[in-house]
A and B are shown apart, each in its own frame.
Chain A
Amino acid sequence: MIRKLLLSTAAMLSLAATAAAQDVAIVNAKVWTGTSAGTLDNATIYISDGVIEGMGVNFAAPSGTQTIDVGGNWVTPGIIAPFSRVGTVEVGAEDSTNDTSAGGSPFSVALRAADGFNPAATPVAVTRIEGVTRIAVAPSNGASMIAGQGFLADTSGSPGSISNERAFVYINLGEGGADLAGGSRPAAWSALRGAFADARGYPARFMAHNEGDALTRADAQAFGPAVRGQQLMLVSAHRASDLRLVIDLKAENPNLDVAIVGADEGWMVADELAAANIPVIVDPFSNLPASFSQLGATSRNAERLIEAGVPTAFAHLGNSGHQSRLVLQSAGNAVANGVSFDDAMAAMTVVPAAIFDMDGVGSIERGNRADIVVWDGDPLEVSSAPSSIFINGEPQSLTSRQTKLRDRYLNLDESEKPLAYKR
């Protein structure tokens, strides 16, 4: 605990350190603000001390500020990938490099994905250079339906990039969770109720019995904040009946802070989700009856959820350790399938920032952190790419291991020296 607290403090200090970035003004920008101001043409964004000090069409940065004229191009808040494993796995199939799950661990809630985060992992830069500046990283289920605790980080790759190392508890209440809990949904829900009781009874019941119904001592302690509604509980489920059980859980425990990831059949219970104010993180690509829990999967899920008033974020859920960057493509596809451009942008910025309680992130407005992306085209177009990226006001590198490999092999001429000499 103490070590973790110290780490948290270090992270804060590091954030403060990056705030010393040079002041800069982005001018002549088409800004999707993420606020009621909508999209502004020919706007200026003034970044000072890592935050947005001012912005607007008639706003002028102090004279002498370094200026970047983006020629009328799109500027958006940094994109948030709200369900990712970036930085916790280098090569998926190589267990030695993969810290996403722990099938051999006796712990569940107490597992902290943050302990496995490597800001220098190659997927971090690969993700960043596509415009994704923040990631919510979940552990994967190993031995338990409760995978552990997820964290929030930026994609700068710097040592202090974790902003909240215990942002949420991730629980699988779909087919996978049922399997891990013993083989059925009843087993999963019994385990969850037991876990709630263990957390609420902590530490007393562990003094008397020295073990909980469902959790170890460390897990019961770690589950406390989520059970008390002080920490987000992120639940994975698809089937409408499973989603109703989650809605019921919240009705029985109104203080819970619950969000759902997956929710392929969310549209079937959209009004109930909206009434319960339960946000969802959906993958707009998911339109196949991939399992018997996803028979209602449709490309129109996002549109219907948003129309019903459900706070809806987007994620690309496939290969989440390496391809979270595809959230932008998935958002573009959501627009092709009925979602408005503004709602699609919000689903990668404002909405996930709210779900994860990310302070000062997700919109371009005065006082917010300067997480900003300048694009060479429509940000949702597959043909577009960032031309500049700022995280906490710091300009970011647009290179990755992949761009270095590309540059080495763009010309295959080895007449003078092998390509291994070329960097």
Chain B
Amino acid sequence: MKPLIYLMASASLLLAGCGGDDGTSNGDGDSADPVEINRNPFPSTYTPYPSTTTLIKDATVLDGIGGELVGGDVLLVDGKVSEVAEEIAAPDGATVINANGKWVTPGIIDNHSHLGVYPSPSVSAHGDGNEISGAVTAEVWAEHGIWPQDPGFPRALAGGVTSMQILPGSANLFGGRGVTLKNVPARTMQGMKFPDAPYTLKMACGENPKRVYGYGGGRFPGGAPYSRMGNVAGYRMAWAKAVEYKRKWDKYADEGGDPPTRDLELDTLMGVLNGEILVHMHCYRADEMALIMDMSEEFGYKVASFHHAVESYKIADKLAEYDTCSAMWADWWGFKMEAYDGVRENIPMVHQAGACAIVHSDSDIGIQRLNQEAAKALSDGRRAGIEISKADAWQWLSANPAKSLGVFDQTGSLEAGKDADVVIWSGDPFSVYSQAEQVFIDGALMYERGNDALTPVMDFELGQPGEGDLK
């Protein structure tokens, strides 16, 4: 017997469960009132700030999906991109910005940040990004460790970053859930949370898990994995459990009866298997990425993006065939063995092979100038004979990260109807001398360089040296 109500909810899995049930029991066991897991217990409270109709005139516009318009206009209405064209007449009451000589792009989206979970100052009390108590901690959520007062957020905003994924660290095989935020200051994490963005799951390959666990110096936490063999065994055992867990819930949905015992770790993994949660996997070496792709097919999920991916250039063809993204630095290398084979042309080489390339930061400094990282990669690629236009390269900074986070239908390009997450740059953003002058999020001007009234200052910096100083 199929409870009809549950079947409907199951068909639209992103809907929150009703009633705030904890999922372990429906109280009286009445099969007419089936247990349902609340998939959104910490819902976004973000709503766009007030905006005016804004017409940006006469700029060099990169639309984020490969188009470039010289001397173009961009119209923002009701928090959305309304139009991008050579000449747009100003609607009544519109704020008109003369952007002659300036460049306009979609806001940068960093799909690998630890802002909030490893905030400034990096004192011991602030280390909330790695739950190293176990190698598999899919039950923890980065959003529960985010300090919204991190002074890194407004500095990233000044670098043109309008959205970002906050991830748990890479100590664990399964580090926990990541969350996507709008880069809007808020008193709570929920106030920053990107509405309707899917959850993500952080996983990690290679050196970190085996160093933290197996080679924890005989101290806490100790135990498996000790090797890359142990890493893969650890993933597979967890996925095997998740398959079984999902089977129980599917059976319950189909047949009713006693609901399965709730397990937060397996909830997350089941979410991946159900296609609701996107896997983001820290993986440096090419050979390991190839193993992970096979493993994902073994268990029936897909890796949305490999992160760091220092050796993606070695298997760019295979990554293209599997159709996943690589989130990369322009030039980080050498800090550990799996980063030893870094090359400056990694990003353009991945792009050239037809695979999805992303510039990411993993750094509270790097996130402030991701446009420069793209510029380095672009020019190094060109010197190696890989011709990519600036318009195409901007996909690395907005469209591709948005796709990897499952929010490309809402942001990541200047297409009509998208969120008006827009940056006006003082000049060509591929130049070291250019800076973000104005940053719009959902059409609201949230940052303006040199304007104290539009420069957020976090609580931590109030009353401290340099409060509100030019950063």
Contacts and interface: CB of A to CB of B under 8 A. Distances in A.
A91 B331 contact: no
A224 interface: no
A416 interface: no
B470 A336 contact: no
A323 interface: yes
B344 A402 contact: yes
Interface in A202-225: none
Contacts of A285: 365, 368
Contacts of A268: 465
A13 B432 CA distance: 41
Q: Which label, helix, strand, loop or mixed, suits the secondary structure of the A interface? A: loop
B324 interface: no
Contacts of A402: 333, 342-344
A299 B470 contact: yes
Interface stretch (B172-180, B298-306, B369-377): B369-377
Interface string B131-146: 0000000000000000
A262 interface: no
Interface in A114-164: 122-123, 126
B85 interface: no
Contacts of A319: 332, 334-335
A39 interface: no
Contacts of B435: 336
A30 interface: no
B389 interface: no
Contacts of B314: 409, 412
A290 B155 CA distance: 13
B120 A290 contact: yes
Interface string B119-130: 011110000000
Interface stretch (B47-55, B102-110, B378-386, B413-421): B378-386
A210 B383 CA distance: 61
B122 A291 contact: yes
Q: Which label, helix, strand, loop or mixed, suits the secondary structure of the B interface? A: loop
Contacts of B122: 290-291
B341 interface: yes
Given A91-B337, A288-B120, A412 B465 contact: no
Contacts of A299: 470-471
B349 interface: yes
Nearest to A332: B432
B365 A332 contact: no
A406 B465 contact: no
A398 to B, nearest CB: 10
Chain A CB count within 10 A is highest, among B152, B365, B378, for B365
B351 to A, nearest CB: 13
A265 to B, nearest CB: 7
Contacts of B169: none
Nearest to A330: B432
Contacts of A335: 432-433
Contact of A94 (B121, B337, B349): B337
Contacts of A410: 345, 349, 384-385
Interface in A79-102: 90-94
A320 B120 CA distance: 21
Interface in A395-420: 402-403, 405-406, 409-410, 412
A406 B155 contact: no
Which size class do A's interface residues fall under? Answer: 35 or more
A4 B62 CA distance: 59
Contacts of B343: 402-403, 405-406, 409
Contact of B336 (A92, A290, A323): A92
Interface stretch (A16-24, A252-260, A361-369, A381-389): A381-389
A323 B337 contact: no
Given A295-B464, A318-B365, A385 B335 contact: no
Nearest to B342: A402
A123 B316 CA distance: 25
Interface string A275-308: 0000000000111111110111111100000000
B267 interface: no
B364 interface: yes
B154 to A, nearest CB: 10
B334 A298 contact: no
A252 B461 CA distance: 34
A322 B434 CA distance: 26
Contacts of A184: none
A291 B465 contact: no
Given A92-B335, A93-B207, A382-B375, A406 B345 contact: yes
Nearest to B314: A409
A91 B340 contact: yes
Given A290-B120, A402-B343, A123 B384 contact: no
Contacts of B123: 291-292
Nearest to A288: B120
Contacts of B334: 90-92, 122-123, 126, 319, 321-322
Chain B CB count within 10 A is highest, among A268, A295, A321, for A295
A42 interface: no
A382 B121 contact: no
B333 A289 contact: no
Interface in B248-307: none
Contacts of B220: none
List of 4 A-B pairs having minimum Cβ-Cβ separation, nearest first:
A332-B432, A296-B465, A383-B379, A322-B334
Interface of B: 120-123, 151-152, 155, 207, 211, 313-317, 331-337, 340-345, 349, 353, 364-365, 368-369, 372, 375-376, 378-380, 383-385, 430-435, 460-461, 464-466, 469-471
20 contacts: A92-B336, A93-B211, A94-B337, A122-B334, A123-B334, A285-B365, A287-B368, A288-B151, A288-B365, A289-B121, A290-B121, A298-B471, A300-B470, A319-B332, A335-B433, A382-B430, A382-B431, A385-B379, A405-B341, A406-B344
Given A240-B465, A382-B379, A385-B379, 12 more contacts: A288-B151, A288-B152, A289-B461, A292-B123, A326-B331, A333-B369, A333-B432, A380-B432, A383-B430, A406-B313, A406-B384, A409-B343
